[in-house]
Amino acid sequence: MSSEEGFSSAITDWLFINTWWLLLPFIMLLVVAAFIVAFVLLLYMISPLISPKPLKLNGAHVVVTGGSSGIGKCIAIECYKQGAFITLVARDEKLLQAKKEVEKFAINDKQVVLCISVDVSSDYSQVENVIKQAQEKLGPVDMLVNCAGTSVSGKFEEVEVDRFKKLMEVNYLGSVYPTRAVITTMKERRMGRIMFVSSQAGQIGLFGYTAYSPSKFALRGLAESLQMEIKPYNIYVTVAYPPDTDTPGLAEENKTKPLETKLISETSGVCQPDQVAKIIVRDAVQGNFNSSVGPDGYMLSALTCGMSPVTSITEGLQQIVTMGLFRTIALFYLGSFDSIVRRCMIQREQSKAANKRE
């Protein structure tokens, strides 16, 4: 080996080592950049999962539509027990009786229950006016509970055609109007809670609920769209999906309920309104998008979560893990609902035939 060759290989070695070292900062830069990208992606993924700060009910102004009876009245009582100021909204004289009942649960002598008589579904300017009056008396609304609602059950062709419109007006527009009336102030204050009381029949369409279910499904669409708009303003929406609940409303509905609807609804039993109210208020205070009652309610909510927002990491994980299992269980339920409907039909036809023979 000549001395010249030895010299050039020494230079190449030297150059190689030097290039290596020259590259090292770039490699490190790449690694750091990759970490930053991964971190930002992770933050991006979990950002919708970060739970909001709970709302303090003590001293808050809570408006409850449908607050003169059933679930609404119990929600008002639950909030009053935690120190809230209440506005009860409904149409008729049950209001004054309800006011007295709620007042029994005062925890301090400053608390007030205000009653407002209005039909939440007929005229927006009227609703806007009464909300203004309530805000003048008790301050800006911190939480709006849209609970005014009514139901009709019956076979599609037997439900009066007017009823389809009426239910959309009361259950859907009757929730749009009060929400529209409070939203601007809530956005200005960058705080608030809006609750919609849907129903398990707003997650699954059932025999006998062709008029009622759509009006409750509609609330979910409204809630999802609205939540995306108002989340940056720190306002949180909750949709509650209660099962049958022992209220004057249910008693009225039961008078004309088809046997099929009764048998199918029995699956998730009958709840007490005060228990339902406790769960709903807890979820609204925490800012949970979804509020369900009981094991069937839990399964239905996981199963129908679709593209609805999540409010905790555990909720998201539970949905991911349980989806397939719950769908499998659901297929059995659907099979049993179909067989209830078929059995009822056969029985009816047999008794009709027997009546003819007589």
Ligand X SMILES: NC(=O)C1=CN([C@@H]2O[C@H](COP(=O)(O)OP(=O)(O)OC[C@H]3O[C@@H](n4cnc5c(N)ncnc54)[C@H](OP(=O)(O)O)[C@@H]3O)[C@@H](O)[C@H]2O)C=CC1
Ligand Y SMILES: CCCCCCCCCCCCCCCC(=O)[C@@H](N)CO
Binding of residue 113 to ligand X (CB under 6 A)? no
SS (H, E, C) the chain: CCHHHHHHHHHHHHHHHHHHHHHHHHHHHHHHHHHHHHHHHHHHHHHHHCCCCCCCCCCCEEEEECCCCHHHHHHHHHHHHCCCEEEEEECCCHHHHHHHHHHCCCCCCCCCEEEEECCCCCCHHHHHHHHHHHHHHHCCCCEEEECCCCCCCCCCCCCCHHHHHHHHHHHHHHHHHHHHHHHHHHHHHCCEEEEEECCHHHCCCCCCCCCHHHHHHHHHHHHHHHHHHHHHHCEEEEEEECCCECCHHHHHHHCCCCHHHHHHHHHHCCECHHHHHHHHHHHHHHCCCEEECHHHHHHHHHHCCCCCCCCCHHHHHHHHHHHHHHHHHHHHHHHHHHHHHHHHHHHHHHHHHHHHHC
Cα distances (Å, whole numbers) of residue 193 to 59, 205, 303: 15, 28, 25
Pick the binder of ligand Y from 174, 208, 243, 287 (CB under 6 A): 243
112 binds, among ligand Y, ligand X, none (CB under 5 to 8 A by kind): none
Which residues are CB-contacts of 259 (< 8 A; sequence separation ≥ 6)?
344
Q: How far is the CB of 294 from ligand Y (least distance, A)?
A: 9
Binding of residue 234 to ligand Y (CB under 6 A)? no
Judged by CB under 6 A, the chain residues 318 through 347 that form the site for ligand Y are: 326, 329-330, 333
Is 216 designated active site? yes
| CA-based nearest residue to 99, from 83, 82, 118, 85 | 85
Judged by CB under 6 A, the chain residues 241 through 300 that form the site for ligand X are: 242, 244-245, 247-250
Q: Which is nearer to ligand X, 57 or 197 (CB)?
A: 197
303 binds, among ligand X, ligand Y, none (CB under 5 to 8 A by kind): ligand Y
296 binds, among ligand X, ligand Y, none (CB under 5 to 8 A by kind): ligand Y
Q: How far is the CB of 325 from ligand X (least distance, A)?
A: 26
Q: How far is the CB of 83 from ligand X (least distance, A)?
A: 23
Q: Which is nearer to ligand X, 175 or 191 (CB)?
A: 175
Is 212 designated active site? yes
213 binds, among ligand Y, ligand X, none (CB under 5 to 8 A by kind): none
Q: Which is nearer to ligand X, 191 or 250 (CB)?
A: 250
Is 233 designated active site? no
Binding of residue 123 to ligand X (CB under 6 A)? no
Binding of residue 244 to ligand Y (CB under 6 A)? yes
Q: How far is the CB of 236 from ligand X (least distance, A)?
A: 20
Pick the binder of ligand Y from 65, 68, 151, 286 (CB under 6 A): 151
Judged by CB under 6 A, the chain residues 73 through 92 that form the site for ligand X are: 90-92
Pick the binder of ligand Y from 249, 273, 287, 309 (CB under 6 A): 249
Binding of residue 204 to ligand X (CB under 6 A)? no
Q: How far is the CB of 95 from ligand Y (least distance, A)?
A: 20
Binding of residue 153 to ligand X (CB under 6 A)? no
Q: Which is nearer to ligand Y, 61 or 257 (CB)?
A: 257
Q: How far is the CB of 355 from ligand Y (least distance, A)?
A: 31
Give the Cα separation of 227 and 238 in Å (integer).
9
Q: How far is the CB of 189 from ligand X (least distance, A)?
A: 25
- Exposure string for 279-307, b = 16+ CB within 10 A, e = fewer: bbbebbbbbbbbbbbbebbebbbbbbbee
By annotation, the residues acting in catalysis are 198, 212, 216
Residues in the site for ligand Y, rule: CB under 6 A? 151, 199-201, 204, 206, 243-244, 249-250, 253, 265, 267-268, 296, 299-300, 303, 326, 329-330, 333
